[in-house]
């Protein structure tokens, strides 16, 4: 799955939402989240993010790895 990290916080550009073919990017209070089960790993969202907040899960920079769990927890709490 792809993961949205810190640069999205309080920005929520939403360019990625337009690109996602399966509409699996959802809006939270302070950032957007990718549904880990619905994402088909197409990668379309990653290059359109103006602040490079989106990463393939294994490529997420070390300091932003916790965002993987933040994405999962967002959907657990729904
Ligand atoms: Fe949507 Fe593709 Fe991005 Fe997954 S990788 S969130 S399916 S655009």
DSSP element (H, E) containing 73: helix 66-76
Return the sign of the alpha-carbon dihedral for residues 67, 59, 46, 53: positive
Stated pTM of the model: 0.94
Write down the ipTM of this complex: 0.98
Determine phi and psi for 47, rounding to 5 degrees. -70, -20
Q: Is the CB of 37 under 6 A from ligand 1?
A: no
pLDDT, one tens digit per residue, over 65-75 is 999 999 899 99
CA gap 32, 21 in Å, rounded: 16
* Centroid of ligand 1 to alpha carbon of 37 (angstroms): 11
CA gap 47, 16 in Å, rounded: 9
Q: Is the CB of 4 under 6 A from ligand 1?
A: no
* Centroid of ligand 1 to alpha carbon of 52 (angstroms): 14
pLDDT, one tens digit per residue, over 3-42 is 999 999 999 999 999 999 999 999 999 999 999 999 999 9
């Amino acid at each position: 799955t792809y993961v949205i990290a810190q640069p999205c916080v309080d920005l929520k550009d939403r360019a990625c939402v337009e690109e996602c073919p399966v509409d699996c990017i959802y809006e939270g209070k302070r950032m957007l989240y990718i549904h880990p089960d619905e994402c088909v790993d197409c990668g379309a969202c990653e290059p359109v993010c103006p602040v490079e907040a989106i990463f393939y899960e294994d490529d997420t920079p070390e300091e932003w790895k916790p965002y993987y769990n933040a994405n999962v927890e967002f959907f657990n709490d729904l």
